Amino acid sequence: MKSSLRLAALAAAVSIFLSACGGKPSATSPDQAAGHASADAAPSEADEALTRKLNAYIECFNKVDADIHRGAQSYTQWMDDPAAGPTGKETQVYGPAQIDEYDMKLCDAPMTEAIAARPALPALDAAAKRYLTALKTLQPLGNQVRDYYEREDYQDDQFAKGKQLHAPLMAALSEFGSASEAFSHELDVQNDAAQREQLKAMEKAEGRTRDFYRLSMMLEAKEIVGLLQEDAFDPAKATALLDGFNKLSDEAHAKVADQEPGKLDWNSFETAAENFRKEGKARIKRVVEKTPYSKIEQGWLDNPTLAPEGSPGRLLKRYNDLVFQSNRQ
């Protein structure tokens, strides 16, 4: 499984409008995106079918993915060597995340139907099938281990069953982690394409409205944070992306910032956008100047609150703040 920071990048950096608990945005048709402003923007049957397929995938992903990753970290962090498993001497233990019947109800049948539904999206459908298979394998095993530790049964058998179940659980978690990364990537590619089409429909129906600028800025911000999360990136490309974001933000300010209703909310969104831009500049500067992290800063890298200036964690925090303000619009 990936580090907490990288997992956050998967959950947040690939999304545009996150719910408060994180995840991917539900797909919307071009008609919805344009606010039903024009009959010309009405979705075709193919658009509706694509929306249904994507929403089935997104709803499952949003419901289970982040909790499973967090649960995996909680399960392994109390072990000296997660590869070896529990020694039997541990005093503070945690099981993995529970995957309950509601989770499976939201994922199993809807995902199975979506995989078979048109339009066929071979790469995404294959990744979805692998993800669902990994989830169904993990669910009974993860719940068994969770119950074992929550009921303190390890005190009765001196961790015997915990040691026995550890290797199968780690194998299931590893496969789920790989399936999650592949599914997230393919879903992101398809959802990005849908969002770009929405932008075209919005501009055609109403012109460059506040909603148009918000979606455009969030798409640009997502691309920036995705690039700058890497340990090494092309500074020239990153600077060009950031300059484009800044230009778009300035245009939006000039055209829609003073509109009512919603002026105060938009000002808050603009403030978050400016903080994101500044942190993007700091991230690029740190990489270009090869500024090392101090020993104290190294301990803060995965902490979203304490992550140092110019770090991927600090930039991700600013991005999530921008996402929060976007959701309030």
Which pLDDT tens digits describe the chain residue by residue (329 residues)?
A: 433 333 333 333 233 322 222 355 555 544 444 444 443 445 578 878 888 999 899 899 989 998 999 999 999 999 999 999 999 999 999 999 999 999 999 999 999 999 999 999 999 999 999 999 999 999 999 999 999 999 999 999 999 999 999 999 999 999 999 999 999 999 988 988 888 888 998 899 999 999 999 999 999 999 999 999 888 899 999 999 999 999 999 999 999 999 999 999 999 999 999 999 999 999 999 999 999 999 999 999 878 789 999 999 999 999 989 988 987 87
Looking at this protein, which amino acid is placed at residue 300?
W
Instruction: List, in order, residues 6 or more apart from 148 with CB less than 8 Å away.
Output: 95, 154, 161, 162, 165
Q: Structural domain boundaries of the chain?
A: 1-206, 208-329
CA distance 184 to 13: 11
Task: Output the furthest CA–CA distance in the chain (Å, rounded).
Answer: 69
Q: Look up residue 298 and give its two tokens.
A: 């190294």
Cα dist from 67 to 25, 27, 28, 103, 136, whole Å: 17, 22, 25, 11, 15
pLDDT of 10: 32
pLDDT of res. 20: 26
- Distance between CA 154 and CA 79 in Å, rounded? 14
Query: How many angstroms separate the CA atoms of 58 and 55, rounded?
Result: 5
